[in-house]
Every structure is written in structure tokens, then in C-alpha cells.
Structure 1
Amino acid sequence: MLDSYSLLEFLEDYVFYYPLAMSIIWMIGASYFYMRREQGRKKLPELEAYPLVSVLVPARNEEKAIASTLKAILASSYPQLEVIAIDDASTDSTAMILQQIESEEANVRVLLLDKNMGKPYALRCGALASKGDILLCIDADAYLDPYALHWIVAHFINGPRVGAVTGNPRVRNRTSLLAKIQVGEYSSIIGMIKRTQRILGKVLTVSGVIAAFRKQAVFDVGLWDTDMITDDINITWKLEKRFWDIRYEPNALCWILVPESFRGLWKQRVRWAQGGVEVIRRHRDIWKSWKQRRLWPVYLEYVLSVIWSYTYVIFGCIWLINLVYPTGWPEVHILPEWKGSLLALVCLVQFLVGLSLDKKYERHIPGYLFWVIWYPFAYWLLMALATVYATPRALFRKMGKPAVWTSPDRGLFTKL
């Protein structure tokens, strides 16, 4: 049996080697995906047909952003689309703005909900009202690239078992350090993870800001669950449990706003962490079925990341207490030694690889390497604390009530 000190050493190694191993896996998987499925793809795909796409835009209190979002959607080069904007009982002038746009644009329809029921409920209403066989869900503050739908629709035409296609969010507000770090995060962390998970066959989640679904698949799994705080993660798992294929299309660009205040970033990361644990809680039945075995690694990796967060935070607290008031507790090491230096080097290489892969979509994005190197120092601690805080909320939250929402942090200096 391991004594306390050998167990302590094991946990110290886990804190360092877990992110090291995942960084290496992400670099290998993302590079392989790029060479096999991205490299050389510059020409817009030629489509045999143009099925009608219903663009669903749920909104609550988005008076500053909603008009420009719909304008970007209507500027799409895709010839067959309808826009369904769902106002979730906004208390500002969002509904009035939507109705004005509806009166001017023939392919825009507006649904007005008289009670705040949350984004999943709004998406359900939009899906039920839609005419298209493909549903594109986009956030109310996002700008859709004019050619994104061509890249997305090609997957549905060529793959009859494709249930969803997630796009490539790009940060458009880049005025603060927090925003610039997130530019690198979306390339070097989120984009690389999606590429790798796609190679392995199952993804943790589509990007809620831009994700397209085959309507048949969404109805096959019973639409979005209204009591889940992260609709995107949950619908992904529901689809994959029914063996619908989930794909990642990096050419389907969508320009988004990210939080630029610590409070806004904290609220976002707590919601992400809570939503992830809620999904793990709801879909734990995958371990009962051998048919769901391809989801096991995704599930296990998420659980390991939660364990890592708790270990990281606990070690940090012990280190801080010993630093301020010696207690005689075992000494722990959280400041970089040789293992920390190795981890920092691997992270730097990962950031460089991720930014280089996305150079195809933004020529000058490698220049953000200087900003993203601060990611491990601030973001690891922030995300670990958010996970520790959110996990009990997710495990003990009473499910069944609608997951309502508030408008998130839209950045400090960006004109919407």
C-alpha cells in the first residue's frame, strides 16, 4: 500500500504529466487531421444541390448585437436559407428590432416567447417552426462567414449519417490581454482538441456559437433538453449515443465576441464546467453498453480533467498555507522545476503548432504567440477554480427546471 508521501509524489506527477500527455496527443491528432482533411482545401466545395437551411438565432436582451448578426447571416452566399429569430422574453428592445427586420426581409421570421425559458427551449421552438432539412444554430452576437454554409452543407450531402457539423469560431474583439489570450486559446486549445477528437471518432461537444444539425437527427434524439445549462454539449452526446456522426469543419468560420473582464470570463467558464459535469452525470449510462465504447475515452478524459483541477487547487492551497504559516504538512511543488520547465516547453510548442495550423484562416494569427504564452499562468488556475466551484453545483443541482440565461459579457471596447 502506498504511504502518504509516495501518494503525494504520484499526485504531483499527475498534476504535471496529465497536461503534458494531453498536449502531445492534441498536437499529434490535430496535425494528422490537418494533413489528411485540411491541407490544400481552398476551393469552395461544389454542391450537387442546395437544401434549405433554417438558421436559428435564439436571443435574449441582445438589442446591441442582433441586427448586425442577422445582417451577416443574410449576406451569406448560400442561396437557400431562412432565418428564424427566437426572442426569449427580452426586457429590452430586442423584440422590436426583430419585428422591424422581419417586416423588411422576406426570409426572416420571428418567434416571440412570453416567458424566459432558456436557450434550449428557444432552439426547440425554432426547430419546430423550421422548414429546412438542415438547422444552423448561431449565437445572437456572432458574425457568420459568407461561405460557411457551403462548407457545412457539403458534409450533410456527402454523409447520410452526419448528424451535426460544428464550425470554427474566431475571436473578433482583440483589444485586451484577456481577449488576445483567448484568440490563441481558440486555435491552440479548442481547435486542436476538436481536430483530435474528430480523428478519434467522437467529440466532446459541438461549438454552441456555430453548429449545424440534420433536422432528422435532432428529432431522432428528442430535440434539446431544456434543463441542461450547456445545450451544445448535451445535444452532442445525445446524437453520438444514437450513432449520428459529428464532424468538425474548420473552414466554416464564425466571428464571435469573448469576455474581456475577469467576472465575465469567470461566469462563462463556470457555466462551461457545470454544463460538462451535468452531461457526464446524465450520460453515465454509456458504461452499461458495449455499443457506446467509443464514447468511453471522451467520458474518461473529462473525468480525469476534473480530478486534475481538484488536485491542482488542493496542492496550490497547501503550498500557500505552508508558505505563509508552516504547518508541518508535506511539502508540495507547484512552481516550475525541471518538470514544470518541460511542461512549459511542450505548451509553447503546442501553441505554436495550433497557431500555425490556423494561419490558413488568419494569416497574421501566429503573432498572437506572445499573448497566448500567458495561458498556463492565469487560465489554468482560473479554469481549475471554475471546475472545483462548478462540479458540486452540477452534481447536486435538481434537474427538470428550464435552464434560463442572461446575456454574457460582450467585451469592453467592441462596437457590435
Structure 2
Amino acid sequence: MWLVGFFYVLTIVAAPVFVFALLGGVIAPLSVVFLIALTLVFFYYSYFLPIALIDVGTDPDSSASAPYPTVSVLVPAYNEEGSVGATIDALQESEYPSEAREIVVIDDGSTDRTYHEANWHANEGTKVVQKENGGKHSAMNYGLLYAEGDIIVTVDADSIVAPDALSKLVGAFQADADLGAVAGNIKVDNRESLVRKLQTLEYIVGILVFRRAFSAFGSVPVVPGALGAYRREALSGVHFYDPDTLTEDFDASIKTLKQGWRIEAVDALCYTEAPMTWQDLYNQRLRWYRGNFMTLLKHRDILFNTRFGHLQGVVVPMMLLNLTVIPIAGFVIFGSIISQLLIGNTVEMLLMFAFFSLLQGLLSIIALWMDDDRMRLAMYAPLFIVGYRQFLDTVVLKSVFDVLMNRDLHWTSAKRSAQRLRMRDHD
């Protein structure tokens, strides 16, 4: 794809020349800091992009075939009235043979009518169980008590799984005996607002590209709760889900990789509901980033043990970079732009913003092409240079600070559309 080559020419050759030209062509302290920050940010993408492209190009057809392994789909739910029914319906309409499939919905002490809605939509292949509220990890472990399948699939109660998704997940296990877990492809379903369009593009550029790159190493670090699958043997071998982080899916995935299993990404599609307000997005990401940093601290022994292979040499270092150096670099870039504007270099900064928006736009187009999604989403790429990027970086750095300071690390989550509608009707 010629756009890939053009992206690398601009990143490696044109970017340094362009920045030096605009900043006077001298190695001033500002120039050095600015170039280092930009190099870190775009190297982060440039390193992984070709690996992700190779993984997409070599992705085999992973549809399941007879004899079909038994599959248990776990759906943990807390206050998911208005969402859980559609999730169950989609799973019941799966192409995977019904005689080899069961669905276990776990109502984790909901205070609304989640349990009643789940029962209303349940058929003979669906179990609905209740427990006191104990958190998502607790709900997942409780559901495993009722699960009888050889393959354990996890689906969030606000997600809609494609008809062929279970077949693709299982097919990946049939094709590779060393595969301990599989990560599905998560897409944003509701895209009608700016905040959701930005999340859609972020999922495709920031998450899909890196997940595909890590998949090429067999070291995908997060099997998402929205759609992921484990061999029962692998999940039981790491003693299921732990309570000591806020991202039980990330923690379980890292434990699985440490045991020597491979984890790959497949094109098993799941649509999920993205946060609809900036406050909801803040709450969601606060939990994600806090949990990610907690998990990396928990498994910091990986950094000092070469037996963990790609997990030690690539995955964990790059994730630590993403939670520390990259956000700081983003603020350095933003601060450098502001300082240049204050001393009157407006035209130069506008040109620089346009140039790096072009780079981000090209990256977005390549990622959208890889994921076969709508190219018009690339028009939001400039906000990943100034705007949305700084919002995310702020939440990342706050999350890291909170964990290091051992502040109140409670579960924070986004409200669903159905929850907000009920609140509005109640008011």
C-alpha cells in the first residue's frame, strides 16, 4: 500500500527537516525537546504498524469445524437493564451449534431489573444466576461454577456479538494447540456524537493496530471482557480472575502469557456501547488506566526475567512507555506549541500543526483500511494532535499518580444510554 511508504517517508525524513526549518534550523533546547517528543510519539506508531499489517495479511480463516468443542459464554451484568436482553438475543442467534453452546448470565447484585430482563430473554440454552455484588472478577469466577464448556468466552452485557464471532474464536483454538486465549475485535456501535466518533477512531488506530502487532508475537496483553475467549485449561491454570486490580481482563491475560500460552487477536467482531459524555469517558478511562498500571506493577517481575520472551522484551516495556513517557511527550509537544504561539510564531505553529495532522491522518486512513471501516472518520485525526490527545494524557498521568500515591482506587464506570434514559424519565 503506497500510503504506508508515504507515511514513513514523512515520519523519518520530512518530519525532522520540517521541524528544524520552522524553529530556525538551530539546535536550540526547545528544538531538541520538541524533536525528542515527536520522535517518541510517532516512533511508537511507526514501529508497530508494519507488524500489524503483516498480521492482518496473514490472518487465516479461523471458522470452527466439527467436532465442535463445548463453549460457555459468561455475561457478567451489573445494572444492565435495557442492554442485557439484546446481548443475550445476539448470542442466542450465533451460528455456533446450539448443542455445543451455553450462555451463563451472572447478575452481580443489580439494583435494577437486570435479572428479570435476562430471564425474560433466556431460553433453554441460557442460565441466569444471581449473587451479591462483589465486582466483575467475582461475577466471572461465580459464573465459572456453572460453566461446563471447554472454551470460556466472555462478553460484556452491553455488547452485541456478530453471528460468526463464536465460530471464529473457537476456530483459532482448533488451529493452534498452543493458543491459550483469543482477543476479539471490538468496535463502537453508537457513533452519533463527537466524543463517540473520537473513541471509534481511537479504538481502530490506537487499539487495533497495537493488538494486531502484539498478535504477531503471540503476546496480545489484553483479552477484552467485551469479547474474548480462553481454553478452560489455561484459565484454570492461572486460578481464574484476581481481585487485586481494576482490570481483571488485563491481569488474567498477563498471567496466561506468563504461563507460556500464546494469545492472538482474530477478526471476531463485537459491537460495544461507548461512553456518551466526556464525564463518562473520564470515569471509564480512569478505571482502565489505573487498572493497567496496577497490573503492570503487580507483574513487574516480567521486566527482569528473559524467559518471558516477547512479553519481557516488547509488550510490557511498550505498555509502560504508553502509560508514562508518551503522555509526558504529548504535553511537551503541546507546551512547545503554546510557547511558540506566545512569542509570535503563529504561522510556523499552524504549519507544524497541519504537517503532523497530515501524519496522523495518514495513520488513521491506513488503520481504517486495515479494519475495513469508514474512511471519513479520518477527518477527526487533527484532534489526536491537539485536543483529544491531551484529554487522554491527563487521565493517564492522573491514574498513574493515583496508583503511586495509593489513593482511593475504587471502581469508576460510564453510565449506559439505557441507564441515562431511566434517570431522565425518573427526573
Q: Secondary structure at the match of 1:374?
A: helix
Structure 2 letter corresponding to 1:291: R
Match of 2:356 among 323, 339, 343: 343
Which residue number corresponds to residue 13 of structure 1?
35
Which residue number corresponds to residue 392 of structure 2?
383
Which residue number corresponds to residue 140 of structure 1?
157
1:309-368 alpha-carbon deviations (Å, 9 max, x no partner) = 1343366568768988x9xxxx999x8477655533322111011111122xx5xx1232
Q: What's the TM-score, normalizing by structure 1?
A: 0.85
Which residue number corresponds to residue 54 of structure 1?
72
1:110-133 alpha-carbon deviations (Å, 9 max, x no partner) = 22112x211111111112221001
Which residue number corresponds to residue 233 of structure 1?
250
Unaligned runs of 5+ in 2: 1-26, 423-427
- Give the aligned length: 391
Whether the 8 Å CA contact 2:187–2:271 is kept in 1: the answer is: yes
Aligned equivalents of 2:330, 2:202: Cα separation in 1: 20
Match of 1:260 among 269, 276, 294: 276
Which residue number corresponds to residue 83 of structure 1?
103
Aligned equivalents of 2:333, 2:57: Cα separation in 1: 40
Q: Secondary structure at the match of 2:120?
A: helix
Whether the 8 Å CA contact 2:340–2:349 is kept in 1: the answer is: no
Which residue number corresponds to residue 109 of structure 1?
127
Q: Using the aligned pairs only, state the percent identity.
A: 27
Structure 2 letter corresponding to 1:274: R
Q: Which moved more, 1:29-38 or 1:204-213?
A: 29-38
Once the two structures are superposed, the pairs formed by residues 5-404 of structure 1 within 5 Å of their partners are: 10-37=32-59, 41=61, 45=63, 47-79=65-97, 80-102=100-122, 105-114=123-132, 116-250=133-267, 252-296=268-312, 297-305=314-322, 306-313=324-331, 316=334, 336=349, 342-359=355-372, 362=373, 365-397=374-406
Q: Secondary structure at the match of 1:380?
A: helix
| Per-residue deviation, 1:370 | 1.9
Closer/same/farther in 2, CA of residues 270 and 46 from structure 1, 3 Å limit: closer
Structure 2 letter corresponding to 1:189: G
Aligned equivalents of 2:339, 2:80: Cα separation in 1: 45
| Per-residue deviation, 1:200 | 3.2
| Per-residue deviation, 1:208 | 2.2
Match of 1:410 among 380, 391, 416: 416
- Higher relative contact order structure (alpha carbons within 8 Å, sequence separation ≥ 6): 1
Closer/same/farther in 2, CA of residues 388 and 207 from structure 1, 3 Å limit: same
Q: What's the TM-score, normalizing by structure 2?
A: 0.83
Q: Secondary structure at the match of 2:181?
A: strand
CA RMSD of aligned residues (A): 3.0
Which residue number corresponds to residue 425 of structure 2?
none
Q: Which moved more, 1:151-160 or 1:373-382?
A: 373-382
Aligned equivalents of 1:211, 1:319: Cα separation in 2: 41
| Per-residue deviation, 1:229 | 0.4
Whether the 8 Å CA contact 1:165–1:213 is kept in 2: the answer is: yes
Which residue number corresponds to residue 12 of structure 2?
none
1:25-53 alpha-carbon deviations (Å, 9 max, x no partner) = 23212221122226xx5xx7351321111
Q: Secondary structure at the match of 2:127?
A: strand
Whether the 8 Å CA contact 1:175–1:413 is kept in 2: the answer is: no
